[in-house]
Chain A
């Protein structure tokens, strides 16, 4: 049975199997390749997207459970081509390394800053425990996130 969902504000229909991980639908069917496939068990955070406004690891979300729901991927963060404040500060601090973990980190921090815009460094680090960076670029991206929290 086809699944109807809203991805980055657009109505979409997928006819993939109901137990197909959402990450595979996003990447293979709709070519939204920002979210990355890595661990496939919810540990690395590279596939994080927003589901009804909350961050989830899309490798563990069966397609059949997202009927009618709102999915946002990293591609939605820049509105009309204008990077979000979080994206801008990451660029300013030259944070990006290989780019594998980075989309998931942006999605987690975007959600986190909506609830805790003035978060302290330790809170930011705690928010990122589910995002593994194989380049070990943690400190610079935490520095950037702290700078954004102070700026806001």
Chain B
């Protein structure tokens, strides 16, 4: 039986313990993994929950498993661990670049995959667009059992998940893909990016795009795919210059978010360049 509610932080000893503790706390509780987003709340005058359930020490949430068919990433895998586990794995260049460019080295030792996907008020997540374009699925544990949903669906419903629901991991089906990830911070690195573009393309033996997914992060409140651009890129060679032109013509489908770091129009204006860079990275991978 987990500790009673009212404690600031209860450190769960197992997955079932964590789910029970979260259910026990109801809407007042939330999971805490790397803690990097939750711990900064006071300085930003953001409200914190009254109770957290620590899940970062649960071994099965900290594992990365690679098989011929799929990659399973535990929700508490840190960015640094993800980079180490997936470096050189086919089709993972974009995801590794996303993890390796996020925040800074010390934060990458702490911030987790699950946290990056579940921090609903964090629009500049690098892993969200990278996982969106890999067609990743998310596994969840609830008091009632297990559930699986696409990453895009999680991004839509993450604010309304039933109390006691815990994201336990991410699953990526292994395919022969060219992937790239491009981000634009205002400094060279270390701050939140103005905009992010991730791309995953399946090229035929003739070099033509058979399947492609493009996802955009940090421009709007939540990362999302760019289906109009994907459709235009199908059936032709993956040409970064052409992708740039198409993105330039079609970027109006995004409504850039305003913030002190960058105005909304600027976030949209840089998208074509990031599309070109993501395509170049995908071809170079």
Contact = CB atoms under 8 A, between A and B. Distances in A.
A84 interface: no
A126 B80 CA distance: 14
Given A19-B8, A40-B42, A59-B39, A65 B107 contact: no
B232 interface: no
A17 interface: yes
Interface string B92-113: 0000000000011111011000
B223 to A, nearest CB: 21
Contacts of B103: 42, 130
A61 B39 contact: yes
What is the interface of chain B mostly: helix, strand, loop, or mixed? loop
A151 B48 CA distance: 48
B8 A57 contact: no
A129 B188 CA distance: 8
Contacts, number: 92
Interface in A51-78: 51, 54-57, 59-62, 64-65, 67
Contacts of A54: 80, 109
Nearest to A51: B109
Given A60-B110, A129-B105, A41 B32 contact: no
B71 to A, nearest CB: 23
A88 interface: no
A55 B106 contact: yes
Contacts of B107: 42, 57, 60, 130
B128 to A, nearest CB: 19
B36 A43 contact: no
Given A65-B35, A65-B56, A130 B105 contact: yes
B9 interface: yes
B40 interface: yes
B235 interface: no
A134 to B, nearest CB: 14
B190 A65 contact: no
15 contacts: A19-B9, A39-B43, A56-B106, A56-B110, A57-B36, A62-B39, A62-B54, A64-B8, A65-B11, A67-B11, A126-B189, A129-B105, A129-B189, A130-B106, A130-B190
